[in-house]
């Protein structure tokens, strides 16, 4: 075997890596494999590649390809003979460096992510893949390293982590705000001798809070899942989970739509508990939701509410109450509408809300 010189890839590297190894995964050599082929492949690939010689003092780089020069901004002359740690700088994580040291000592195949520095001082996140290469006698001959610039992915992940942390914080604060509002309403209601009124207000406020709560974790995506909000609002009215049947696609919508939908469903469920399907032991409610186009051809979120098995209905009640008025007003503000049909076997409602996006 010839020793590589002047940064040429060692020509027997391909033979060596198919031989008995300690931790590197063996592979079958393919017919026609030649040193030249590998030399050309290593030189030409767009992935930065280097080989180091652990049998020399401080494991210097003995080969690097053009992509390595391009990634780091150094020429091969400036690279060869140095240990790869010259790419590290003040913000490179020493814990990652220690892990690399251990992996190299144990001759492991391993992947690391470390902040590295180019010649001009700029930084990049390096996804580094390391592995040992053995000669025909199973003796450690080289280390192989491939470097991939994953700065974009790293930044996207950091942004997502940040957004999730913010959403958790907002969720926490929102819960507090709803708890404080609830407290204010209760105390004021007690002080003014208007407990039934304060209870009604509080139930509505808490329903609004419930509709937002489960969606906050992914609100950073700009849309939230409708089903999560619907189930959260209705859950207290069906603690056993066998009276209200929810079906819907994983429809997502903008967070603003949730207030109107959440409050409307709260009013419908309260009404059903007092007079409708939930006031008898046998009634059930089917709630379903979907994206559709409305009668004005607008992209719309449609929620259908169907009560059955409750006390018979003898037509539309004279007054549908404050709750329905609140729901109608909220929906009208958002250019949506509420269609109610009082069928003999129960109330049917369609909520329709045009979507901004």
- Cβ 7 vs Cβ 80: under 8 Å: yes
Of 16, 50, 232, 302, which lies in the binding site for ligand FMN, with binding defined by CB under 6 A?
50
Q: What is the distance between the alpha carbons of residues 167 and 26, in angstroms, rounded to a whole number?
A: 46
- Residue 113's CB is within 10 A of a number of other CB atoms, namely 14
Of 13, 64, 100, 244, which lies in the binding site for ligand FMN, with binding defined by CB under 6 A?
100
Q: What is the distance between the alpha carbons of residues 276 and 308, in angstroms, rounded to a whole number?
A: 8
Footprint (CB under 6 A) of ligand FMN, residues 314-353: none
Smallest gap from Cβ 83 to ligand FMN, in A, equals: 5
First-to-final CA distance of the chain: 66
- Site size toward ligand FMN (CB under 6 A) is 21
Ordered alpha helix ranges (H), 134-225: 151-191, 195-212
Smallest gap from Cβ 43 to ligand FMN, in A, equals: 16
Of 67, 87, 205, 277, which lies in the binding site for ligand FMN, with binding defined by CB under 6 A?
87
Footprint (CB under 6 A) of ligand FMN, residues 120-149: 126, 128, 130, 143-145, 147
Q: Hey, what are 155's tokens?
A: 């930044």
- Cβ 272 vs Cβ 279: under 8 Å: yes
Q: Does 208 bind ligand FMN (CB under 6 A)?
A: no
Of 18, 83, 171, 235, which lies in the binding site for ligand FMN, with binding defined by CB under 6 A?
83
Dmax (CA) of the chain: 99
Of 35, 43, 66, 85, which lies in the binding site for ligand FMN, with binding defined by CB under 6 A?
85
Q: Does 69 bind ligand FMN (CB under 6 A)?
A: no
Q: What is the distance between the alpha carbons of residues 62 and 263, in angstroms, rounded to a whole number?
A: 69
Q: What is the distance between the alpha carbons of residues 140 and 16, in angstroms, rounded to a whole number?
A: 9
Q: What is the distance between the alpha carbons of residues 329 and 349, in angstroms, rounded to a whole number?
A: 16
Smallest gap from Cβ 103 to ligand FMN, in A, equals: 8
Q: Does 52 bind ligand FMN (CB under 6 A)?
A: yes
Give Cα separations from 110 to 25, 46, 132 (angstroms): 11, 20, 10
**Is the CB of 50 or the CB of 208 nearer to ligand FMN?**
50
Q: Does 65 bind ligand FMN (CB under 6 A)?
A: no
Of 24, 42, 64, 104, which lies in the binding site for ligand FMN, with binding defined by CB under 6 A?
104
Q: What is the distance between the alpha carbons of residues 171 and 220, in angstroms, rounded to a whole number?
A: 12
Q: Does 84 bind ligand FMN (CB under 6 A)?
A: yes
- Residues in contact with ligand FMN by CB under 6 A are 50, 52, 59, 83-85, 87-88, 97, 100-101, 104, 114, 116, 126, 128, 130, 143-145, 147
């Amino acid at each position: 075997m010839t020793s590589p010189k002047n940064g040429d890839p060692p020509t027997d590297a391909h033979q060596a890596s198919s031989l008995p190894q300690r931790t590197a995964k063996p592979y079958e050599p393919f017919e026609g494999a030649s040193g030249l082929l590998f030399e050309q492949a290593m030189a030409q690939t767009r992935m930065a590649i280097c080989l180091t010689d652990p049998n020399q003092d401080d494991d210097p780089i003995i080969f690097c390809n053009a992509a390595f020069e391009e990634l780091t901004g150094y020429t091969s002359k400036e690279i060869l003979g140095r240990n790869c740690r010259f790419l590290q700088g003040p913000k490179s994580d020493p814990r990652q460096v220690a892990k690399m040291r251990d992996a190299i000592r144990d001759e492991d195949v391993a992947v690391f992510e470390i902040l590295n520095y180019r010649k001009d001082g700029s930084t990049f996140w390096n996804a580094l893949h390391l592995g040992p290469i053995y000669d025909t006698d199973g003796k450690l001959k080289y280390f192989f390293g491939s470097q991939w610039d994953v700065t974009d992915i790293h930044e996207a992940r950091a942004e997502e982590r940040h957004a999730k942390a913010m959403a958790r914080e907002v969720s926490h604060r929102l819960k507090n705000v709803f708890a404080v509002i609830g407290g204010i309403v209760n105390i004021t209601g007690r002080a003014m001798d208007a407990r039934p009124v304060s209870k009604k207000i509080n139930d509505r406020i808490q329903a609004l809070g419930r509709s937002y709560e489960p969606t906050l974790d992914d609100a950073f995506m700009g849309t939230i899942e409708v089903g999560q909000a619907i189930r959260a609002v209705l859950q207290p009215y069906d603690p056993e989970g066998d009276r209200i049947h929810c079906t819907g696609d994983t429809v997502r919508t903008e967070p603003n739509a949730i207030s109107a939908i959440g409050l409307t469903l709260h009013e419908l469920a309260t009404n059903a508990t007092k007079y409708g399907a939930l006031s008898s032991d046998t009634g059930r409610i089917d709630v379903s939701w979907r994206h559709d186009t409305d009668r004005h051809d607008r992209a719309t979120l449609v929620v259908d509410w169907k009560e059955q098995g409750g006390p018979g209905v003898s037509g539309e009640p004279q007054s549908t109450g404050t709750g329905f008025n609140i729901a109608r007003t909220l929906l009208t503000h958002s250019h949506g509408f509420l269609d109610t049909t009082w069928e003999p076997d129960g109330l049917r409602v369609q909520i329709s809300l045009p979507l901004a996006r």
